[in-house]
Amino acid sequence: MGFWSSVLGRSKQAPAKLDSLFMVPSAAVTLQTAAGLAPTGTGSVCYRAVVGAAFSQAQEEIVSLLNDAPDAPAVEVSTDSYGYTWLVVHRDPEDTAGLCTDLHAVNTILEQQGFGSGLLCSLISFADASGRRAGLVYLYKQGTFYPFAPQDTDGQRRDNLLEIQVRDTLAAELPMEKELSRWLALWGAPGL
């Protein structure tokens, strides 16, 4: 950090550790074996959309890139009730590696186009046979993961026990977020 940055209270954002997303496929096997939670095939990237032609073009490039792949996933863009944009990717539940590659590409392209400051998180959805759902959330700015498990679909209650179980199950495989205050609820997130 330079002199003026320290005087003005500015700091550089630490570079994201996007390659951590590639650890999710092996963690998914562990999660399915230990907790019965299997990947649903849905993943998404959440970001603050920017008004302007450059951002619209970058978003269109991402959708086009994913749609032009030989094994093209289903891709959609939606906005939640809080105003955040979600780029949602649907793949075969057995192709967690492909899903994580898609999410990595979305994050990387937005970062390379200068929109990294608007990236918030990526989410990979899991479910068990009884219908319990959980999301593995990757915090872009922290480079860590945390679990989010909504307890019901119409209310806003979390399944804290399931979240702790997922954290403990994956602690040896993924960089888990230690600060519980960063375990934000993602109500209405696509796929959950």
Residue-by-residue pLDDT tens, the chain, 192 positions: 555 555 555 555 555 678 899 999 999 999 999 999 999 999 999 998 888 888 888 888 888 888 887 788 889 999 888 889 999 999 999 999 999 999 999 999 889 888 888 999 999 999 999 989 999 999 999 999 999 999 876 668 999 999 999 999 999 999 999 999 999 999 989 888
The whole-angstrom separation of Cα 71 and Cα 7 is 51
The kind and range of the H/E element at 76 are: strand 74-79
pLDDT for 19 equals 87
pLDDT for 124 equals 98
pTM reported for the whole predicted model: 0.87
Assign 124 to helix, strand or coil. Answer: strand
Closest to 144 measured CA to CA, from 186, 169, 177, 117:
177
The answer to whether 22 touches 95, Cβ cutoff 8 Å, is no
| CA terminus-to-terminus distance, the chain | 40
